[in-house]
Amino acid sequence: MATRADVARLAGVSESTVSYALSGKRPISEGTRQRVQEAVDQLNYHPNFAAHILAGGKTKTIALLFPENKFGIPPITLEYVSGAAKTAHNRGYHMILIPSEDITFDEIAGYKESGLLGGVILMEIRLDDERVDYLQKLQVPYVLIGRTRESEKLTFVDRDFEEVAKISLDYLKKIGHKKIAVLSQMRKVHGSELGVDSRYFNSIVHYAKKLRLNLCELRTENTSTEGRNSFILMREKHRDVTAVLALPDLATMGFMAAASEFDCRIPEELSVLAVNMPQNQIELTWPHLTTVEVPAFAMGVQAMHKLIDTMEGKELAQKNELFVGELQIRGTTASPKVRS
């Protein structure tokens, strides 16, 4: 197992310089920091963080509390996680993943008091989220991916739902769609509304009224099976729908599969536009999905930068940042045809 002395010899610096480069305790040149990082990577060196904390250093461990349910982790969540993890590594920090339903307030307090937890990134934010209040009282640095109902004083990254709704509905109206189904996700977890799902749906409803579009909602759990059931329900009760605006990623995949199963031709009979779909899933559908791309990786990157800057006492240029994503027209949208 490599030691700090091994890293120092390979990088051509002193052991104390290695410590400064990894801890950020003292400023060093970018060239020196890069040489140390290259030596760390080459030797697969893992510093003893417990010893570092006992010696008076600040912890470099960050917890990301991410959503998980009985069906596992949605692929879109992994995009956020990947962006955050890569950024933490590049800045010399370690990120641990904790399913948000598997940790208690007492555990967070215990990690903080022991010096093992430097900061928290919190996902799946509820409009009224007691976890945010608790982290504030505990005085643990934190950043949200999402936002609460009252979020002006919080540090967060989130989607600009109003702009996403505008881009999506403007496009569907432009190509001739007037009756649109919104494939949406169940909006409550443990009795509290999820910010992402509520803001998405409310923004779509509000802007659709401006455009005088006729909407119906297909509310579903985010699973492939429930997406299939939503397609069946739409064919039974909303046969005049010509386009679907899809929010949950896994349910969208099930919806698309059901269209193929029941010989519904996309986009000739039904257009589908997805707004929360990661790239690797887009490539699994045929035709490939038209999307307003979700910049989830970039949002994870910026959330981690904001948290680390806060932990290091730096002033943030932007406490809050909203992301949109570009419209990518692929094979699942077209003008509606007259039906017999």
166 lies in the same domain as 277: yes
Q: What pLDDT, on the 0 to 100 scale, is given for residue 53?
A: 45
283 lies in the same domain as 177: yes
Q: Annotate 16-41 with DSSP letters as a single string.
A: HHHHHHHH-SS---HHHHHHHHHHHH
Q: What pLDDT, on the 0 to 100 scale, is given for residue 247?
A: 93
Q: Please tell me the total count of domains within the chain.
A: 3
119 lies in the same domain as 200: no
139 lies in the same domain as 79: yes
Residue 277 maps to a domain:
yes
Which residues span the domain enclosing 129? 61-158+296-323
Lowest mean pLDDT among 52-56, 71-75, 212-216: 52-56
19 lies in the same domain as 119: no
Residue 335 maps to a domain:
no
Q: What pLDDT, on the 0 to 100 scale, is given for residue 339?
A: 47
Lowest mean pLDDT among 4-18, 21-35, 260-274: 21-35
164 lies in the same domain as 290: yes
Structure-token pair, residue 18: 């290695």
**pTM, rounded to two decimals:** 0.80
- Compute the mean pLDDT over every residue in the chain, rounded to the nearest whole number: 87
pLDDT tier, 213 (very low <50, low <70, confident <90, very high otherwise): very high
User: In a 10 Å sphere around its CB, with 0-12 CB exposed, 13-18 middle and 19+ buried, how is residue 248 labelled?
Assistant: buried
CA dist 248 → 26, 117, 224, 238, 309 (Å):
45, 32, 10, 20, 32
Mind listing the pLDDT tens digit for each residue in 218-275? Answer: 999 889 999 999 999 999 999 999 999 999 999 999 999 999 999 999 999 999 999 9
Residue 332 maps to a domain:
no
289 or 197: which leads in pLDDT: 289
133 lies in the same domain as 209: no
Q: For residue 286, give the CATH number of its domain.
A: 3.40.50.2300
Residue 80 maps to a domain:
yes
Q: What pLDDT, on the 0 to 100 scale, is given for residue 306?
A: 97
